[in-house]
Amino acid sequence: MDINILAVGREAAILQVVERLINSHEGWHATIATTEQEAINAFKAKPYTIVFVCAGFSAQEEENLRQRLTQLDAAVVVTRHFGGGSGLLENEILGILATK
Amino acid sequence: MTNTILHKANTRGHADHGWLNSFQSFSFAGYYNPQRVQFGVLRVLNDDRVEGGKGFGSHPHDNMEIISIPLEGSLVHQDNMGHKEVVSAGEIQVMSTGSGVFHSEYNNDPDKLVKFLQIWVYPNKLNVTPRYDQVRLDPHKEHNALQQLIYPYPGSTQAKPSNDGTWIYQDAWFHMGTFDAGRKIAYDLKKPGNGIYLFVIDGAFLYNGQRLDTRDGLGITGTDSIDLEAAEQGSRILIMDVPMKNNIQ
């Protein structure tokens, strides 16, 4: 199954690693954004299954983004990504897909 | 009511990359078991062996408290905060990765295996300034006693001043001890609502008549104290006292 994943954070170097790791998995396609507005623009351009909120975004900013994106698509999973791509990223995606 | 969950050593995830042989108590990387994702805020407990001269090249981490405990040999760590350190058996290393850090970690010996525990704990503060710390343990404090390795950060409401071990951004306490056969150990949990995860490093222990062998893990919730007994001479245990729910600030 092909899925699109949007990763939003303020640490561009880490986001690039997250993007590379997601894209290395067959059928998983990553887009990265470093601001809330970039994320919303990307979200309006194509459908996403998962939005990962990464380092630099506060819990309140995460909640604001969740509210805005779920108004556009109630099925999207907006969740915190922990760890900076190393070790847990694939696990987090598999866990979310298992619940869908 | 007290609940327990037993993770026998031979049920852990396993990844053999040649240079890295990793046994994973919880889901990690390509090992995903929905029944074994975390124990409260304890997310990763990897029992790693790295071949001489090999290791993990530069890679990022963020928003995770990472504790490394070398059991044999030593690791050389380098990060973009300017640290280049060797951490050896008898020491512990802590990174609060917060807003993001890149680091590498290699076996410091060209020929001998390094064995270490890699433990990740979810933080209760996001995007903190990354921090590195390394502490030498006192072997005399660990014989027939529990030596504190980890405690909550100084700004926590749970914080108590301590010279034993180092701190992380979480209301968590780690202790380690090596015990003679038959020795009894009582441990009181440090915070209401916390759970406790026992990991047997060497030897064997008894908990409520249940035998825990080397590299077994046991999670316990719904209690404020536990009693253990060392079942073999030189049995070594790591006790992780962690919140079962994360209250992120």
Q: Does A14 touch chain B (CB under 8 A)?
A: yes
Q: Is the dihedral of CA B6, B61, A80, A25 positive or negative?
A: negative
**pLDDT at position B147, please?**
97
CATH code assigned at B197: 2.60.120.10
For chain B, the domain total comes to: 1
Q: Which residue's structure tokens are 């968590």?
A: B172
**pLDDT at position A10, please?**
96
Residue B105 lies inside a defined structural domain of this protein: yes
Range of the domain at B178: 3-243
Which position has the higher pLDDT, B72 or B163? B72
Whether the predicted interface score ipTM is above 0.90: yes
CA–CA distance, B240 with B235 (Å, rounded to integer): 17
Residues of A in contact with B45 (CB under 8 A): none
User: Which residue type, as a one-letter code, is found at position B174?
Assistant: F
Residue B40 lies inside a defined structural domain of this protein: yes
Residue B99 lies inside a defined structural domain of this protein: yes
CA–CA distance, B41 with B51 (Å, rounded to integer): 30
Residue B23 lies inside a defined structural domain of this protein: yes
Q: What is the pLDDT of residues A2-27, one digit of tens each?
A: 999 999 999 999 999 999 999 999 99
CA–CA distance, B183 with B200 (Å, rounded to integer): 15
Whether A17 and B64 lie within 8 Å, measured CB to CB: no
**pLDDT at position B216, please?**
98
Residue B107 lies inside a defined structural domain of this protein: yes
The helix/strand/coil state of B97 is coil
Q: Which of B126, B246, B249 to mutate to test the interface with A (most CBs of A within 10 A)?
A: B126
**pLDDT at position B80, please?**
96
Q: What is the pLDDT of residues B2-55, one digit of tens each?
A: 999 999 999 999 999 999 999 999 999 989 999 999 999 999 999 999 999 999
Whether B32 and A88 lie within 8 Å, measured CB to CB: no
The helix/strand/coil state of B221 is strand
CA atoms within 13 A on the CB side of A76: 25
Q: Which residue's structure tokens are 């104290």?
A: B225
Residue B14 lies inside a defined structural domain of this protein: yes
**pLDDT at position B114, please?**
98
Task: Find out whether B216 and B8 touch, Cβ atoms under 8 Å.
Answer: yes
Q: Judge if pTM exceeds 0.90.
A: yes
Q: What is the pLDDT of residues B144-182, one digit of tens each?
A: 999 999 999 988 887 777 778 999 999 999 999 999 999
Chain B residue closest to A12 (CA)? B100
Q: Which of A82, A89, A94, A97 to mutate to test the interface with B (most CBs of B within 10 A)?
A: A82
**Residues placed in the known binding site of B:** 59, 61, 103, 105
**pLDDT at position B166, please?**
95
Residue B124 lies inside a defined structural domain of this protein: yes
Residue B248 lies inside a defined structural domain of this protein: no
Angle at CA A82, nearest 5°, toward A76 and A85? 95
Task: Write out the two tokens for A86.
Answer: 């190393």
